[in-house]
Structure 1
Amino acid sequence: MHRTGFFDHLILLLGVFFMVGPLVVAFTTSTHSAADIHSNGLMLSIGNDGLSTYDKVLFRGSGFTGAVTGLSMTMNSLILGIGFAVGKIVLSMLAAYAIVYFRFRFATIAFWLIFTTLLLPLEVRIMPSYQVMSDLHMLNTYQGLILPLLASATGTFFFRQFFKSVPEELLEAARIDGAGPVKFFIDILVPLSRTMIAAVFIIMFVYGWNQYLWPMLMTTDERFYTLMRGIKQILQVWVGSQIPDYNEAFALAVLAMLPPVIIVVLFQSWFIKGLTESDK
């Protein structure tokens, strides 16, 4: 038993090492100068340029207009991540609620039509989506960045399966108490779904936070640049013998990795419950 426990903990520690290791290496490397990184590669020791590097990354203006800072790009990424997560959860819950509790004839067909959109990734429909946003004059806006991608077959599937596991007795009790569809949804289903909401929020936040292709296509205004675009922009700077600011790119990578890591660590118990338990 003790030997089994030892190997279990060893495997978990190795998993932690492989998951957290890249974040630690990115941070230690970001504290060295760009010339040192260019000459020696990744660094495991902490250098002397950490404070100046993160100060430049967070607060120094860059880009053609000089209006882009790491702080502004972080805020844009947060708006994108939170907007995606909240919007997808609301739409998914409403769609799943209609499919499960409103007994219309083609509910099953509607669900499978929604589910088949998983076969159509963003890259397949990116040009029609762009044309629609352009016609609606939503380019270079947060609405244009968030609204076209809010529909979520994954979220609808998770909430549909959860709602189908809710006992019918709750619905009957709500009807006896005079609760209508809206009151039943808000007062009963939403509180029961809190762990599932947390699980879907984590998944969708990371999905929105890591978006690169769609923001690059939708925005030409530097005020809407995200961290993913910022990292790519730094690494593209290679003119003549000029060395890219590797330290700043690694600092931006650390900033890009921290929020998803923090959210997963803080809400890991809710995440596991939401995907494995029925918390009713």
Structure 2
Amino acid sequence: MSGATIDVEALAAASRRRKARERFLTHLALILGVAVFALPIWITLVGSTHDTDTIGRGEVPLLPGGEALRNYTRAWSEGGGGRNTFAVPAGTMLLNSFIMAMLIAVGKIAISLLSAFAVVFFAFPFRMVFFWMIFITLMLPVEVRIIPTFQVMTDLSLIDTMTGLTLPLIASATATLLFRQFFLTIPDEYVEAAKVDGAGPLRFFKDVVLPLSATNIAALFVILFIYGWNQYLWPLLMVSNRDLETIIVGLTKMIGIGDTQNEWNLIMTTAVFALLPPVAVVVLMQRWFIKGLTETEK
């Protein structure tokens, strides 16, 4: 009996050691992964607190410096990045990017909700033909249709306008498809109950469909806001007026000259500004984002 007891205890101890080793390896992998992603961000944060000469000498400080207030104030109100460039204040670029991202996200959700609602709950000729026409546009990336789209914006005199910057990016086949698939799961009893109560299509949409779609809308908003915020090619093509410049395009223009003229501390400061809005959206809407991706009950 004592031998059996010793064997059981040895097996339990071996099992504990194996689990401890597995936990250690798992946490080590997670820490290494976080370090790989976090180290460049930390260097950017630290670099934004040093002066131009420190970064210009090729030094990579790992501890914050004493120029943070000056750098952030100057980048926000004056801009920077190159002594021979026409600097755009980071505050202006942030506002432009925020307006563009909000218009794209809200516009995509509004149009996709209405188009998916029409396809699912209305019976009209060629309904599925129109849906598949929308769906097929998923096969055409922005780069393929950017020249004809630019020509249309030129003909409508929308170059160098916020409308031209956002309107072509508002239509979304992806969001339409996702909302359609969600609307198909809404029980038919809800539709019949609305008809019995005398509710019209708009009231059914407002009182039933929208509340059920709240978490999906929140999840899509996070994705679409970041999509709009990270736009580079279309704003670069559409905007030559520096007053409408977005922060993603502005960052690339800051480093588009010789290394000796780059003010890397201000570039890093502007990069920190560019990080804040999407991070804030993800953090503030994290709970809704997760629920929108995982919740299936109606």
| Fold agreement, TM-score > 0.5 | yes
Computed over aligned residues only, the root mean square deviation of the Cα atoms, in angstroms, reads 2.4
The reply to whether residue 50 of structure 1 matches residue 63 of structure 2 is no
* Aligned length, in residue pairs: 278
Contact 1:92-1:159 at 8 Å conserved across structures: yes
Which deviates more, 79-88 or 20-29? 20-29
SS in 2 for 1:165: coil
Within the candidate set 108, 118, 124, 2:144 is matched to 124
| Pair 183,20 (structure 1): closer, same or farther in 2 beyond 3 Å | farther
Query: Does 1:157 pair with 2:177?
Result: yes
Identity of aligned residues (%): 46
User: Residue 284 of structure 2 aligns with which residue?
Assistant: 266
Q: Residue type matched to 1:191 in 2?
A: P
| 2:197 partner letter | D
- Stretch moving more, 64-73 or 107-116: 64-73
Q: How far apart are residue 279 of structure 1 and its match? A: 4.7
The question of whether the paired residues in 1 share the 8 Å contact of 2:46 and 2:65 is answered with yes
Cα distance in 1, alignment partners of residues 154 and 32 from structure 2: 48
Q: Could you tell me which amino acid in structure 2 is paired with residue 267 of structure 1? A: M
In the other structure, the counterpart of 2:4 is none
CA deviation vs aligned residue, 1:184-222 (integer Å, no higher than 9, x gap): 111111111111001111111111101111111111111
1:184 aligns with 2:210: no
- Closer, same or farther in 2 for the Cα pair 1:66/1:235, shift >3 Å? closer
Q: Which moved more, 1:73-82 or 1:13-22?
A: 13-22
| Cα distance, 1:34 vs structure 2 | 2.7
Q: Distance in 2 between matches of 1:9 and 1:110?
A: 50
Check whether the contact 2:56–2:260 (CA below 8 A) recurs between aligned residues. no
258-267 or 22-31, which moves further after superposition?
A: 22-31
Q: 1:236 to 1:65 in 2, by over 3 A?
A: closer
Partners of 2:201 and 2:166 lie apart in 1 by 28
Match of 2:12 in 1: none
SS at match of 2:254: helix
CA-to-aligned-CA distance 1:158-186 (integer Å, 9 cap, x gap): 11111111111111111111111111111
Distance 2:53 2:282 in 1: 34
Q: Structure 2: which 5+ runs fail to align?
A: 1-15
Matches within 5 A, 1:36-115: 36-60=54-78, 68-115=88-135
State TM-score, norm by structure 2. Answer: 0.85
> Residue 194 of structure 2 is aligned with which of 150, 166, 174?
174
Larger Rg: 2
Q: Match for 1:244 among 254, 262, 276? A: 262
Q: Distance in 2 between matches of 1:279 and 1:224?
A: 43
Distance in 2 between residues matched to 1:39 and 1:251, nearest whole Å: 18
Q: Deviations over 1:64-100 (max 9, x none)?
A: 9968311010000000110110000001111111111
TM-superposed CA distance for 1:9, in Å, is: 5.8
| Residue 34 of structure 1 pairs with residue 45 of structure 2 | no
2:275 pairs with 1:257: yes
Conserved 8 A contact 2:79-2:266: no
Partner secondary structure for residue 266 of structure 2: helix
From the superposition, tell whether residues 197 and 104 of structure 1 become closer, same or farther in structure 2 (CA, over 3 Å).
same
Whether contact under 8 Å (1:211, 1:228) holds in the other structure is yes
TM-score, length-normalised on structure 1?
0.90
For the pair 1:147 / 2:185, whether they are aligned, the reply is: no
Structure-2 change in CA distance of 1:174 and 1:65 (3 Å): farther
Evaluate the alpha carbon distance shift between residue 16 and residue 193 of structure 1 in structure 2; reply closer, same or farther with a 3 A threshold: farther
TM-superposed CA distance for 1:106, in Å, is 2.9
* 8 Å Cα contact 1:23-1:257 kept in structure 2: no
Whether contact under 8 Å (1:67, 1:223) holds in the other structure is no
